[in-house]
Structure 1
Amino acid sequence: MTRAKPSPTDAYSLILDAIDMGVFKPGDRLVESDLADRFGMSRTPIREALQKLETQSLLARDGRSLIVASLDHNQMAELYVVRRELEGLAARLAARHANAEEITVLCDMVGADDALVGDPAALARANRRFHKQIHLASHNRYLVQQLDLVHRSMALMATTSLAAEGRGEIAQAEHKRIVTAIAERDESGAETALRDHISVAFMTRLKQDASDG
């Protein structure tokens, strides 16, 4: 049986996932031949995937090379403004539309994530899953699509705010307040809790950048 050839969509998803998981970090150079070897496919779908990622501003030109893009201060600030608004709306809609099973999953997630507080990388992965679950619980496909775009851009930040001292415990407490509001069908409370959560994450990142500078 002939195996189907990988499509540009497959290549795009593989490269995007690698950026999202921090395998490729801002400033890393992406080479067609290296990626083709890494993912076991020809250079054609890799080339098309790289072109798409460049169009979406996830990759940038450095001379003739393509590198993983990075966000400057203004871009990061703009991204957090949009994220705060959209995430808040997702929480509000989740409080309105989430079914019992989705609420149970959110409760289980936030409970299990307490064990990851000492591991910022693992907690960051769990954090993405947690937020994605809230997006899905909003039951609004267009909002989910827009938040997917926002979170792709979040991958262009070299570090996670969860690496800041004490941030893991605080973020977990914030997650629990969000889930409690969703479970209680408190739309306004859920929206406010999630917006506040994003604001604190942004302030934490600003402090990180200031200390690194």
Structure 2
Amino acid sequence: MQKDAYSLILEAIDAGTYKPGDRLVESELAERLGVSRTPVREALQRLETQSMLTRDGRSLIVASLDHNQLAELYAVRTELEGLAARLAARHASDEEQRVLRAMVNEDKALLGGDPRALSRANKRFHKQIHLASHNRFLVQQLDLVHRSMALMANTSFAAEGRDMAGLAEHEAIVDAIEARDGEAAYQALRTHISRAFETRLRIDAGELRTR
């Protein structure tokens, strides 16, 4: 299925092709994506409405999150992700559990490597937990939250040592889901998000080096 201009621009922001503060030019995007300017214009208007883009004079730029917005986003993400883990412990099929375990094992090969690759693996892992919750409304809300996460200029996995700690936290989450322990899964995922937020704050404060 061919992706529309909106999805393609959103993916480019998520991949870091366009970073917070970058200017998006309608004609350049149309040429790059190989589509006409009309769908690009409509996509940009939609992204502006969703606060993914903001105005800088007459130009549209990729939005950025200030400290308060970041804290608000993580507060919502912590609760929703925790709920997804709790529901996954209750509803995940044996096959879904095996996929989560395989993801953790396979991601160990990425330790010490490209932070962007780890970030992509992290997103896949969290998305799998969302789906394993078997709650479509929760999945929709988490999609919105993760879309806004793309407005952060770097990944917490870029911090030295965060990759190993993050993967250990993933392992604890899967352990709890496999044990069908909803409360433990909820707490493990909340802890994981809390530590990621702390790492991000320390990066922003210049306390941690990134790769």
Q: Aligned ranges for residues 63-82 of structure 1 at < 5 Å? A: 63-82=57-76
Gaps of 5+ in 1: none
TM-score by length of 1: 0.95
Counterpart position of 1:89: 83
Counterpart position of 1:116: 110
Residue 117 of structure 1, CA deviation: 1.6
Name the CA distance, whole Å, in 2 between partners of 1:23 and 1:104. Answer: 33
Q: CA RMSD in A?
A: 1.4
Counterpart position of 1:144: 139
Aligned pair partner of 1:172 in 167, 173, 177: 167
Aligned pair partner of 2:120 in 125, 129, 133: 125
Residue 38 of structure 1, CA deviation: 0.6
Aligned pair partner of 1:191 in 167, 171, 186: 186
Q: 2:40 aligned with 1:25, yes or no?
A: no
What number of residue pairs does the alignment pair up? 207
Residue 170 of structure 1, CA deviation: 0.1
Name the CA distance, whole Å, in 1 between partners of 2:52 and 2:111. Answer: 29
Q: Aligned ranges for residues 192-207 of structure 1 at < 5 Å? A: 192-207=187-202
Counterpart position of 1:38: 32
Residue 212 of structure 1, CA deviation: 6.9
Aligned pair partner of 1:62 in 48, 56, 62: 56
**1:175 partner SS:** helix
Gaps of 5+ in 2: none
**1:211 partner SS:** coil
